[in-house]
Amino acid sequence: MREYGQFYIGGQWVDPAQGRPHDVVNPATEQVAGHIALGAQADVDAAVEAARKAFVSYAETSVAERVDLLKAILGEYKNRADDLAAAVTEEMGAPAKLAATAQVGMGLGHLATAAKVLADYPFAEDRGTTRIVREPVGVCAFITPWNWPLNQITCKVAPALATGCTMVLKPSEEAPFSAYVLAEIIDAAGLPAGVFNLVNGDGPTVGAALAAHPDVDMISITGSTRAGVEVARAAAPTVKRVHQELGGKSPNIILDDDAFEKGVKLGAAGVWSNSGQSCNAPTRMLVPAARMDEAAAIAKASAEKVTVGDPTGDAKMGPVVSQAQWDKIQGLIQQGIDEGATLAAGGTGRPDGLDTGFYVKPTVFADVTNEMTIAREEIFGPVLVILPYDSVDQAVEIGNDTPYGLAAYVSGSDQDAVRKVASRLRAGQVNLNSAPVDLNAPFGGYKQSGNGREWGEIAFGDFLETKAVIGYTPAED
């Protein structure tokens, strides 16, 4: 049983000012795995004050000093990799192999990338007689989700540390264990007191307090579009910078060529990964109308090969994070059936033989129209919907017909054709032919998928203010 009742504020583990107990449930067993305390306004005030105090000196540190700090965190992170993976599996149900490789690996990658970018980042440049200086934005507040906890924390924390910002983190109360281990890592790495602070809490209390706090200069949230809107509203009176990485319903256009079968297979596999709990998952597959039955059969075979079960074993897919998520997914699957989509695989209920745990059947719907609820709402579970198109133009039109714009996918054997389709899709990141993850590629969305970009060099800009010093270099007579 994990007991994490304290917060990390000002370089110390401290008791909450007004802590409320909160059970953290293991989604594979439905049993309480540990406890945390939920903070309140007083805890937020203390953490922000510590970050504000630390900013005065941390903002003045050299690039070399910050590179050394990031490398120290990297070293401690590697030492605790097994602890991080175990925490992720226990808190949100990621299969052990996925937790050890992708979940932990993404955090490692963001820290390493930030250190590398920082070494040569142009914080100042001269244009004529003016010097343009990029300075840290100040105290940042981070609200992070449960689905990729280490990825979403480190892709905010790493560039913030690199650019000279200080911060307060509110991790998800549903999956807080890995954040605690990361705080221990940061403490062991010797980060100056107050630069990084952690306060647990829920959205309506700690999240809202951080968003509205007058001494927070920037708030960054990864979560639902609904949560992002509430954060923006709370932040508006103080005119702080608002960064949002929100929901998605990503189109995956499979072109009509000899790479069709491969494209469908890889697209379906991308939905089953992490139990479908990825905001950029390729859940909305578009295929030529004449090949709908073929696509459904390929996707069905893919779904039926997925082993679902105990995430501490060899299962490829674990549970979804909570009873609330399981209920939501079940309701949307039933809605897909009720609205007339063809259920090609999966369906409601748990997989056979799994009576305990928040397990969902890998599910495939065919013959979906873009007006159906399952084609428009983010299900956030292992549910693939397949829509038909009659022409590439129509595929692009359907692909863009969504309030979201986080990611999109295109596959086909003709690289020029694939690139042409990608250029027409309104999304912040477009993946061609299931290319591997690129940690230097900006990540963020168009439309209601958010504002700002994370990952790599581009992410640094969101944590920097731009100052123009006119006359820095006097003009020659």
What is the set of active-site residues? Answer: 245, 279
Burial of 470 (0-12, 13-18, 19+ CB in 10 A): exposed
Instruction: Give the integer Cα–Cα distance in Å for 148 and 153.
Output: 9
Distances (CA, A) of 268 to 159, 257, 335: 33, 18, 21
Instruction: Give the integer Cα–Cα distance in Å for 232 and 31.
Output: 35
Instruction: Give the integer Cα–Cα distance in Å for 252 and 396.
Output: 10
Total residues belonging to the chain: 477
Q: Are 38 and 95 in contact (CB under 8 A)?
A: no
Q: Are 84 and 184 in contact (CB under 8 A)?
A: no
Enter the tokens of residue 447.
């439309």
Instruction: Give the integer Cα–Cα distance in Å for 143 and 24.
Output: 18
Q: Are 283 and 271 in contact (CB under 8 A)?
A: yes
Q: Are 298 and 264 in contact (CB under 8 A)?
A: yes
Helix, strand and coil content of the chain, in percent to the nearest 5, comes to: 45, 20, 35
- Measured from the Cβ of residue 352, the count of other Cβ atoms closer than 10 Å reads 8
What order of strands is seen across the sheet that includes strand 31-38?
A: 2-4, 31-38, 20-26
Among 134, 147, 166, smallest CA distance to 59 is for 166
Instruction: Give me the residue label for tokens 């007058």.
Output: 214
132 Cα distance to chain centroid: 32
Among 226, 240, 223, 193, smallest CA distance to 58 is for 193
Instruction: Give me the residue label for tokens 């009742």.
Output: 5
Q: Which residues pair with 34 in a beta bridge?
A: 2, 24
Burial track 41-60 (b if 16+ CB lie within 10 A, e otherwise): bebbebbbbbbbebbeebee
Q: Are 240 and 76 in contact (CB under 8 A)?
A: no
